[in-house]
Amino acid sequence: MADSGKDVKSPEVADTASQSEDKVLAPKEEEAKNAATSTASGVADEMFSMFGGGAKKKKADEDRGDISGSAKAQKEAEKEAEKDAAKEENPEDEVPESVDVDFVPVIHLTEKVVTKTFEESEEQTFKMRAKLFKFDKEGNDWKERGTGDVRLLKHKENGITRLVMRREKTLKVCANHYIVPEMKLSPNVGSDRSWVWTAAADVSENEPEAQTLAIRFANSENANLFKEAFIKAQQENKTYFKEVQELAKSKETEKA
């Protein structure tokens, strides 16, 4: 065949040339794409900034802890919450401000209240626990007056002795009279630890009243000790009551 004057390449050579051109164009196209992407991203960031936003942060920036906007406010709120929790756990760390308050007491408790028993001028010469009874004339039987300590109290000035008995716990008086010479202490029927006597003027109920009384002790030994102290007080009071009687007679004579 005649030569037409043009270079005719074989199919193999043409394919090789085409591949070479593709290799040369590929990097350029990649660069163009990257440039377009960067430009578009820049435009988007500028538009986002116009409306109060900011450029999108890279992951590296987020890893550095770059905090802004609501995330920063949330972080500060969490710190404040941790501080409040620490204060609640350790309230002693907080020192309250001292406030000077002056309270005036309504009642001054320095004053002692003295309760008088009317026994302050007497001394105790006998004391024994016992049970006291009173004879009830209307019912014709014995009524219990109370249980407690029966005591003989001697006045420090005139030397006269009286019998006083108070109920235990309540301390209410159930017997209170002078031991006069006319009294007679008699054993109670059927008992060696009980005595009976009559008081012409017992003032345990405030007003003088004639009472027939009976007293019972735990054993006969205690009963005998009471009898001895009772009789001794009668003898000592005899002199006093004798003087009182003589004084009363002399006053009646003067009036006559």
The pLDDT tens digits for 229-241 are 999 999 999 988 8
SS3 161: strand
Closest CA to 130 of 174, 186, 182, 180: 174
Distance CA 42, CA 186 (A): 130
Residues 217/130, Cβ–Cβ less than 8 Å: yes
132's tokens: 């006291």
Q: Where are the domains of the chain?
A: 122-247
Q: What is the pLDDT of residue 185?
A: 95
**CA angle, 187 then 233 then 223, to 5°:** 30
Residues 153/164, Cβ–Cβ less than 8 Å: yes
Question: Measured in Å, how far apart are the chain's first and last C-alpha atoms?
Answer: 202
Q: Which of 8-12, 145-149, 223-227, 230-234 has the lowest mean pLDDT?
A: 8-12
> With 0-12 CB in 10 A as exposed, 13-18 as middle and 19+ as buried, what is 53?
exposed
SS3 108: coil
Q: What is the pLDDT of residue 230?
A: 98
- The second-level CATH assignment, the architecture, of 122-247 is Roll (2.30)
Query: What does the DSSP 8-state code read for residue 159?
Result: -
Residues 154/161, Cβ–Cβ less than 8 Å: yes
Query: What does the DSSP 8-state code read for residue 193?
Result: S
Residues 196/188, Cβ–Cβ less than 8 Å: yes
* Rg of the Cα atoms in the chain: 60
pTM (two decimals): 0.55
Q: What is the pLDDT of residue 70?
A: 65
SS3 152: strand
* Helical (H) or strand (E) element with 145: strand 141-155
- Who wins on pLDDT, 10 or 205? 205
